[in-house]
Amino acid sequence: MKWTILEPGDYIVMNPRTVHAVLSPVNSVVGGIYLLDQEWIKNGTVELKMAWHFQKLEAMIEDPSEDHESMEEVLNNTKEAEIELWKRLKKNASDSDLIQKLDNVQAWTKEKIKKIRNHQGFRENQKIHSKK
């Protein structure tokens, strides 16, 4: 058996169907998807998986508590990681369908982040974490 301790923004790559468990001392969101798989981007799978991720984040801001991690850190990692990788992929892409889908998923992700940041629960979460 192997174990890895991850900090916000860290990631590991595992083969599909790898048996694993995630333990967290705080209420957190963990997502495991192939964000750069071109077929998944084109067929909407990435957006579907990201929707699940954002649904969990939105549930956290509906009920902010000290048990939740800092939503600002979660959103910064999402914005800096996924969106930056999509920009790089788009820069090197020649497939017009892929480029359009990348534009769509980036815009959709930015809108979701904006919605979460504008929510009262997000501001409450930040007040909790600014005291720590």
On whether the pTM is more than 0.75, the answer is: no
| CA distance linking residue 101 with residue 104, whole number of Å | 5
| CA distance linking residue 36 with residue 102, whole number of Å | 10
User: E-assigned strands of 4-95?
Assistant: none
Cβ(114)–Cβ(58) below 8 Å = no
**31 pLDDT exceeds 70?**
no
Contacts of 97 (CB under 8 A, 6+ apart): 42
Residue 20 — pLDDT band, cuts 50, 70, 90?
confident
Residues 70-116: tens digit of each pLDDT: 888 878 777 667 788 888 888 888 999 999 999 998 899 889 989 99
